Amino acid sequence: MKSLKEFINPGLRFVFTDIDDTLTTHGRLTSSAFQALWRLNQSGVAVVPVTGRPAGWCELIARQWPVAGVIGENGGLYFRYIEDGPERGMKRHYFYETSTRVDNQKRLDKIRTEILAGVPGCRVASDQFCRQLDLAIDYCEDVKPLQPIEVEKIVGIFQRHGAQAKVSSIHVNGWFGEYDKLKMCQIFCQREFGVDLAASLKIAAFMGDSPNDEPMFEFFENSFAVANVQKFVKSMKHLPRFRSEASGGDGFSEIVDRILAKN
């Protein structure tokens, strides 16, 4: 990973960013990070949070934050709020139709029972009631942090049932289907801006902090992580190109400073 000083801004139009432990510090959205979002917005950069957090959170974020949209539940959906014009209101796009989403939730309910019985100390994430597509198991947000071997047990249970499972800095998220964060980023850019993201990597960037961001770190030429990524480095195959000195929200603000600096 390189120092931010080595980053030369090619004229970014899109910034995709994780939320937990990238925009937040100890679970809180910092003032520096929120101001950095506004600075990007006011500079004409379309900011899109990409998160494992639930649809209910996405409704608020899309409506009240200075963002172009938000991708939630690990790529299962995106919401975008249109402030003016004939399309004014909330646009909601899902990877799967309603019937498939309902069937998948029934399958996840069975997995939930098995995980809670088989891995003592974990808990269903407190934001589960806001979710429409996945099951989030808390392994260190509101519970005493589990050992890595216990986290792997949770992942294994999801996978034995044919579900995808990703480990974030706080949850193990599981879902059925072939979607992920990266696919929905590409869908979002194409549907909302008519931009082929794969052909436009010089004008796009991603910021993250944990193993579930690896596909994004691999895909984006302009990939960044905040300093707390360091605790996951030994378990990751694909690292970001650049890393901040600060952690969490302050690290995000540090990256934005460099993005907006005149090279």
pLDDT tens digits along 65-84: 999 999 999 999 999 999 98
Is the CB of residue 166 less than 8 Å from the CB of residue 212?
A: yes
- pLDDT at position 263, please? 58
- pLDDT at position 55, please? 97
Confidence of residue 216 (pLDDT cuts 50, 70, 90): very high
Query: 83-110: per-residue pLDDT in tens?
Result: 988 889 999 999 999 999 999 999 999 9
Cα–Cα dist 240/262, whole Å: 22
3-state secondary structure of 221: coil
In this structure, which long-range contacts are made by residues 221-227, counting pairs with CB atoms below 8 Å and at least 24 apart in sequence? Answer: 222/7, 222/10, 222/12, 224/4, 224/7, 224/255, 225/1, 225/22, 226/21, 226/22, 226/251, 226/252, 226/255, 227/251
Pairing of strands 77-82, 89-94: antiparallel
- pLDDT at position 141, please? 96
Average pLDDT of 239-251? 97
Domains contained in the chain, CATH given? 2-95+179-260 (3.40.50.1000), 98-175 (3.90.1070.10)
Beta strand ranges found along the chain (DSSP E): 2-3, 14-17, 24-25, 28-29, 46-49, 70-72, 77-82, 89-94, 123-124, 135-138, 164-167, 171-175, 204-208, 222-225, 242-243
Average pLDDT of 211-238? 94
Residues facing 165 on adjacent strands: 174
Is the CB of residue 248 less than 8 Å from the CB of residue 225?
A: no
pLDDT at 41 over 80: yes
In this prediction, what percent of the chain has a pLDDT beyond 90?
A: 94
Average pLDDT of 48-61? 96
Query: 112-144: per-residue pLDDT in tens?
Result: 999 999 999 999 999 999 999 999 999 999 999
Pairing of strands 28-29, 24-25: antiparallel
pLDDT at 242 over 80: yes
